[in-house]
Structure 1
Amino acid sequence: MLNLSKPQEFNCLASYVLEMVNAVKLEQLKPFFDFLPADPYLAGNYRFRNLSHFQIAGDRLIKLPHRQLFQSKVYNPILGDVVREYPELDDRLVASVDFQKIVWEFFQFCQLCTNFNEVAVHQIRTTASSQQLGNPAPEGIHRDGVELVGIFSVNRTGIEGGETHLYPEKDGRPAFSKILNPGEFLVFRDSQYFHYTSPVKATTSELGVRDVFVLTCPGLFPPESGVGSSDQ
C-alpha cells in the first residue's frame, strides 16, 4: 500500500491533489489497454472501456461481483438514465501489483473524505486519427454524482490536447487546467468541482491514444441496486 507524503494537506471540502506516482511501473499496465472493447454507447468507435468494482477490507482488495453503470440526466445529458453494461477488467491486470498501487492510493483519499469502502475503476482508452478527433468527455463540463473522482494517466501517444479542467462553477473559469502526463494522478471532490477533458487530436498519420484509469468513490449503479457499500 502506498503512503501519501502529506495526506493531511488534502482539504476534502475545497482542494484537489495532483501527484506523480513514481512507484507505478506504467510499462506493466500499457498492454492491458490494447484490447479494450469499443464503448457501444458512443458513435464513432473512438472510446474503449472496461469497468470493475472493488471493496477494501483491512489490507485486502476484493473484486466485487459484476455491476452495471448508471447516471441520471442531471449528471450526464448524453447517456443519462441509460443502464450501461461494460466488461470487467482483465483478471491479470487486477492481480498486478502496479494496478493495486493505484487503487490503494485513491482509497487513502476515500478514507479521508468519505464513509465508503468501495471504489469503481473505469479503464478507458480514447483514440484519435487524422480523420477523427477523440472526445474523452462527450457530455461536456460535468459532475459524476459521486464523492471523489481520481484520474490516473497511463499513456499518451501520438496526440495533442486532452487537457483536464476543474471548475468551481460550471460557467466560470477553471481553477485547474493541465494535460495529465503518464504517472500523474489527479484527485478531487466531485461536489466541489465540475470537470472536463478536451478532445485529443492525432499528431501523425498513425492512431493516437490516451489511456487512463478513472476511479470513483463510490460506484454509480442503477437505482434498484443501491449506492455502494459503506463502512458504517
Structure 2
Amino acid sequence: MLNLSKLQEFIKPEADCLASYVLEMLTAIEVDKFRPSFAHLPKDPYLEGNYRFRRLSHFKIVGDRLIKLPHRRLFQSRQYNPLLGDVVREYSELDDELIQLEEFQRLVWEFFQFCQLCSTSQEIGVHQIRTTASPHQSGNPAPEGIHRDGVDVVGIFSVDRNKIEGGETHLYQSKDDKLPAFTKVLNPGELLVFRDAQYFHYTSPVNVLTNEQGTRDVFVLTCPGLFPPNEN
C-alpha cells in the first residue's frame, strides 16, 4: 500500500471532464524517472510485427491510499475493439520499482481526480506501452482504428518521443466524423483526459526520423479497468 496524502498538494484539477476533454502539462512530474522502465517492457504477443511492448497493472484508491490489486487479465468486446475484441489478453505486471516512484503515484492520483468527476469506480487500470518504428516498419499505437475503450474515463500521459514523427492523438465526437474535435502530438509531460462515452479516440502511426529505431512511450490509464466478464 502506498500513502498518497503527501501528494495532494500537487493536484489542482482546473476543469470538469464531464464538459469536455482536459489537456494539462504535469510540471510536478519528472518524466525522466519513468524512461528506464520502458526499456524492459515485454513484447505484446497479440500483435504481429513486434512493434508494441506492454505491461498492465490495476489499482484501487481507498481514502488517501493507492493499493495495487491482484493480477487481472485484459478483455474488450468486439464492439469496442474490432481487432482484438473477445480475446482475453494476459500481460505482465508493472515493475514494483516503477510503482514505488513518487512520480508514478502522482500520475495515478492526478488521473483519479478526474475519475471522481465522471465515475463511481475506485479502480484504475494502468497500461505502460512502448510503440517502436524502424526504417523498414511503422509503429501503430492504435491498430484497432478510431475506437472507444468501453470504460468511463481515459487518460493518455506522454513520457517520451525519440527519433520519431507522427503519433498524433485525435478525439472524434462521432466515429464517422472526417475532422477530429481535438488533434495534437502529446509532448512528454502532457496528460490528456476525456470521457470515453463522449469521444472516440485514435493515434496515428509513428515513423522514424533517422536510420535508427524510434520509440513512443506512454501510460494509458482507464477508469475502471477492462476485465473478462467472469472476473468483474
Equivalent residue, structure 1, for 2:119 = 114
Q: 2:203 aligns with which of 191, 197, 203?
A: 197
Tell me the secondary structure at the aligned position of residue 34 of structure 2: helix
Q: 1:175 aligns with which of 172, 175, 181?
A: 181
Tell me the secondary structure at the aligned position of residue 112 of structure 1: helix
Question: Please, what TM-score do these two structures have when normalized by structure 1?
Answer: 0.95
For 2:12 and 2:92, locate their aligned partners in 1 and report how far apart those are by CA, in whole Å: 34
Deviation at 1:216, TM superposition (A): 0.1
Counterpart of 1:108 in structure 2: which amino acid?
Q
Equivalent residue, structure 1, for 2:137 = 132
Equivalent residue, structure 1, for 2:4 = none
Deviation at 1:4, TM superposition (A): 4.2
Tell me the secondary structure at the aligned position of residue 100 of structure 1: helix
Q: 2:36 aligns with which of 3, 26, 31?
A: 31
Is 1:55 the equivalent of 2:60? yes
CA contact (8 A) 2:13 2:113 kept: no
Deviation at 1:112, TM superposition (A): 1.3
For 2:115 and 2:108, locate their aligned partners in 1 and report how far apart those are by CA, in whole Å: 10
Tell me the secondary structure at the aligned position of residue 36 of structure 2: helix
Cα distance per residue 1:1-39 (max 9 Å; x no partner): 3444344x3241x30000000111111110000010000
Which stretch shifts more, 157-166 or 105-114? 105-114
Equivalent residue, structure 1, for 2:48 = 43
Q: 1:155 aligns with which of 149, 160, 166?
A: 160
Equivalent residue, structure 2, for 1:5 = 12
Equivalent residue, structure 2, for 1:230 = none
CA contact (8 A) 2:175 2:200 kept: yes
Count of paired positions = 224
Is 1:100 the equivalent of 2:108? no
Give the RMSD, CA atoms, in angstroms: 0.9
Cα distance per residue 1:34-78 (max 9 Å; x no partner): 010000000000000000000001111000000000000000001
Is 1:220 the equivalent of 2:191? no
CA contact (8 A) 2:17 2:194 kept: no
For 2:220 and 2:32, locate their aligned partners in 1 and report how far apart those are by CA, in whole Å: 18
Is 1:77 the equivalent of 2:101? no
Equivalent residue, structure 1, for 2:93 = 88
CA contact (8 A) 2:17 2:193 kept: no
Q: 2:213 aligns with which of 181, 193, 207?
A: 207
Q: Percent identity?
A: 68
Counterpart of 1:5 in structure 2: which amino acid?
K
Aligned structure 1 segments of 4 or more residues deviating by more than 4 angstroms: none
**Residues 41, 28 of structure 1: alpha-carbon distance in 2 compared, 3 angstrom cutoff:** same
Mark the runs of 5 or more structure 2 residues left unpaired by the alignment: 1-6
Mark the runs of 5 or more structure 1 residues left unpaired by the alignment: 227-232
For 1:79 and 1:35, locate their aligned partners in 2 and report how far apart those are by CA, in whole Å: 24
